[in-house]
Amino acid sequence: MRKVLLSAAVLLASVSMQAQGSELYGSGLKIKFNDDGSKYLRVISWAQVWSRYNYNNEGTTRQGAEQEATFDVGLRRARMLFLSQISPRFLILAHFGINNQNALSSTNNAANPWKPGLFLHDMWTEYLVSKGKMKNGSPYELSIGAGLHYWNGISRSTNASTLNFMTLDAPIVNWATIDAADEFARMMGIYAKGKLDKFDYRFAVNMPFSRQAALVLPTNNYGPILQSSKFNPKNNSVNLQGYVNYQFWDQESNLLPFTVGSYLGSKKVLNIGVGFEHGFDAMLQKNSATDSQVVAMTHFSADIFLDYPLSSKKDAITAYAVYYNYNFGENYLRNIGIMNMADGHTAANGSVNRSGFGNSYTTIGTGEAIHLQVGYLLPKKSDKLRIQPYGNITLQNWYGVRNLDGTMKGWVANGNIGCNWLLEGHHAKITTDVGLRPDFNNANNEAKIRPCFTVQTMIYL
């Protein structure tokens, strides 16, 4: 017993409370197992709480009653992550938590449907194959890993960290298959990642998740919004992903896959990148009322990221632009409402449920999308508060979205304006945000703009 107590005391004495980018937190809660800290266990926890007032899509119901606007409070994310290295060559990561819990949250647990299930987001092991310098002095690095992982293809924001968004959240269009063929943007697979001079790369061979038990043809029941493709429930093929970026200035860490949304002026970063995703038998495409065929899913992207300190006043600009080209098969469309605060639709005024209910809209589809965001970290006036206003816009041209005469609707926009009130960098902040989205739930198929007002409180340790 004395040996156990002595070991515990030594372990506790080795704990250092530090976190990157913050004098208060340093590098986080890190338990060191040797003097130089090369053998360690790092623990990170965080929570994002949203308080919202949303103007609902036309015809929205909540608990059976039509509701024009809704106030709610919810847990957007509540997570814990454990990262451990007992050797520079070996790494294991475990990441679990919940997402999107509000008063209407539901799971398969019929006894307690309001309690979302705690689940693994990531669990992988990794081996450092090689690291060093080439004859010309350029660095290189290669690691191989396997498990439920987040080393994603397509774009920088497909690999986004949720700890340091510049905007309130990701645009969601960046996660093409989220919870349709993956587990919250993760798949089971094998990945390779590393660096070659100023190139940073990641490639993966994955097995997609199957979400549907029955082979049911898509139905064209969206009126002017067509729907003729869906994910193939009998898909046995692999999914290939990759993303490569060139880092002109400061080099970013790739110890973990999570890319930073804003460095708050602590780095000088300019990156350009390209990515892809391909699923061989990913989709089921409807050809007629009784016939369908299995088709491939192929996506491409190109993006650019800038984080630039401007002056000795510690002000900085952050900007990101990305282009997506998605092909899920003919006329694939998907409505998504983040942590939706409603549960139904009345199909009022003869309309059909084109945009969905609550705060949903047609977020992902076959076609093109452009996302732009920019923020400015104001000059430092206080050690207790930094201010970072931002704005973003997403332009989407989904080929299945049609006018009443059957012609393509064309480009449709949604966006946000907001401000981060940084109390301790990204570690403790309040975000105020106004989001604007299109609502097509009317008989004339006209886009009506619906606002959502959000206050986020976030802390991560």
Written in H, E and C, the secondary structure of the chain is CHHHHHHHHHHHHCEEEEECCECCCCEEEEEECCCCCCCEEEEEEEEEEEEEEEECCCCEEECCEECCEEEEEEEEEEEEEEEEEEECCEEEEEEEEEEEECCCCCCCCCCCCCCCCCEEEEEEEEEEEEEEECCCCCEEEEEEEEEEECCCCCCCHHHECCCCCCCCCCCCCCCCCCCCCCCCCCEEEEEEEEEECCEEEEEEEEECCCCCCCCCCCCCCCCCECCCEEECCCCCCCEEEEEEEEECCCCCCCCCCCECCCCCCCCCEEEEEEEEEEEEEEEEEECCCCCEEEEEEEEEEEEEEEEEECCCCCCEEEEEEEEEEEECCCCCEEEECCCCCCCEECCHHHCCCCCCCCCCEEEEECEEEEEEEEEEECCCCCCCCEEEEEEEEEEEEECCEECCCCCECCCEEEEEEEEEEECECECEEEEEEEEEEEECCCCCCCCEEEEEEEEEEEEEC
* Residue 84 belongs to a domain: yes
pLDDT of residue 210: 81
* pLDDT score recorded for residue 104: 86
196 is a domain residue: yes
Give pLDDT, residue 404: 75
CA distance 432 to 453: 8
Q: Residue ranges of the chain with pLDDT lower than 50? A: 1-21, 108, 221-223, 349-350
The Cα–Cα gap between 377 and 189 comes to 38
pLDDT at 268: 98
Q: Report pLDDT for 205.
A: 98
Strand pairing report for 292-309 and 269-286:
antiparallel
Answer left, alpha or beta for residue 69, where phi above 0 means left and psi between -120 and 50 means alpha. beta
User: From the centroid of its chain, how far is CA 35?
Assistant: 37
- Is 16 inside any structural domain? no
Identity of the amino acid at 39: K
Specify the pLDDT at position 5. 42
The domain containing residue 133 runs over which residues?
A: 39-460
CB 283 within 8 A of CB 348: no
pLDDT tens digits along 318-339: 999 999 999 999 889 899 999 9
Looking at the domain assignment, is residue 96 inside a domain?
yes
Polymer length in residues for the chain: 461
Other C-beta atoms lying within 10 Å of the C-beta of residue 213: 8
Domain count, the chain: 1
CATH at 377: 2.40.160.10
What is the per-residue pLDDT for 20? Answer: 40
Residue 19: inside a domain, yes or no? no
Q: Residue 306 falls within a domain, yes or no?
A: yes
Would residue 3 count as lying in a domain?
no
Residue 29 lies in a domain: no
